[in-house]
Amino acid sequence: MINKKDITDRFISYVTIDTESDPDSNTTPSTKKQWDLANKLVEELKAIGLDDVTIDVNSYIMATLPSNVNHDVPTIGFISHFDTSPDFTAANVKPQIIDNYDGEDIILNTEDNIILSPDYFEDLLLYKGQTLITTDGTTLLGADDKAGICEIVSAIEYLINHPEIKHGKIRIGFTPDEEIGRGAHKFDVEKFGADWAYTVDGSQVGELEYENFNAAGAKVKVNGKIVHPGYAKGKMVNSMYYATEFINALPKDETPELTEGYEGFFHLYAIEGKVEETKLQYIIRDHDKGKFEARKALMQKLADDMNEKYGRTVIELEIKNQYYNMKEKVLPLMHIVDISEEAMKQLNIKPLIKPIRGGTDGSQLSYMGLPCPNIFAGGHNFHGPYEYVPVESMIKATQVICKIAEITAEKYLNYNYEKSKHS
């Protein structure tokens, strides 16, 4: 049985270390403070008894739990990231523990009147009677993805302390900078040496995902001209008006807040504007590869049409692909999804198999030769002050990791036996 206090204490020890990543940095990790948790994790992995604990110059952590069976079992991996999103501050996280949640509003911060309410966040009602860990309303929590790290470390420690649970060789990996799209960029798949892996980076209990968005980022530079407003007639070009025209020309109902499931979107997430120059930053997302390419083409056509309309370069557009849908790489190996689904069922957890409306390290790793579905870590409302995680969900994720390892060993014992009978 996973100890509730131990997993709570471990999680809090992680989230109180600031590991916010920085998209404007060119280093890996993108912030020096990520090393604070990375070095702590290395020492912790050594202390619980793992082999081959390494951390490279870019703070990628790897370690090994050796097999405790005599037959051949594929090497599997579990991966999470230790950085937190730059969307909201992760400095001075002060977690609050809500025991035996009663289903009512949770006052996160009295001074600023910040309330976590089931009237708005209906998922809260799934956890009545459970223990919730929340923010104090002034920071994010960091369950994305320190919950995943906590669950992997706790599961591996449990397997070490319970050798009666049979498993093959297990590799674990912790990465920086996932939140800025770089978590897998310098991950050494060959060194990791797993046949497949699972990222533990999903949300509510039961989530199991092997499809994700195709993703691109777009930077739009809108050019204007500044002159004194008193002498502006026929001379001033206000870039902010042209930026507004560009924004309004994109489909208004294809934004994150108006789409769900397999529906893609254009997401304008940053604007910086003056008369002379306005900068827009978008992310482009779609599960379907053809629709993804069409979205990028639409943006380019809009830029070209506006430049032609005004007879000069009003719009400069730069689009860069970020990652692709892992489904293409996982479908030929669906047994790795089946194993995780069976693990949940054996633990009386209903699998929630659905597409990720985002991406994980696993989407990039799958294209780097490491097929990598995603399983739940238990948190909700990531990247903001309303983030929370039920402790019971973290315990269930820990149990699923252990069960995946156990089922994999059992599956390949039977496989080898059947193969020997017919050889």
Q: Which residues are catalytic?
A: 83, 178
What's the helix, strand, coil split of the chain in %, to 5?
35, 25, 40
Q: Where are the alpha helices (DSSP H) in 87-188?
A: 143-161
Residues 6+ apart with CB under 8 A from 44: 153
DSSP element (H, E) containing 109: strand 106-109
Closest CA to 355 of 284, 215, 260, 217: 260
Q: What is the SS3 assignment for 223?
A: strand
Residues 6+ apart with CB under 8 A from 9: none
Paired tokens of 389: 């995680």
Distance between alpha carbon 351 and the CA centroid of its chain, in Å?
Answer: 19
Cβ pair 28, 37 in contact under 8 A: no
Distances (CA, A) of 59 to 33, 45, 188, 330: 11, 14, 12, 27
DSSP element (H, E) containing 186: none
- The structure tokens 């995780």 sit at 340
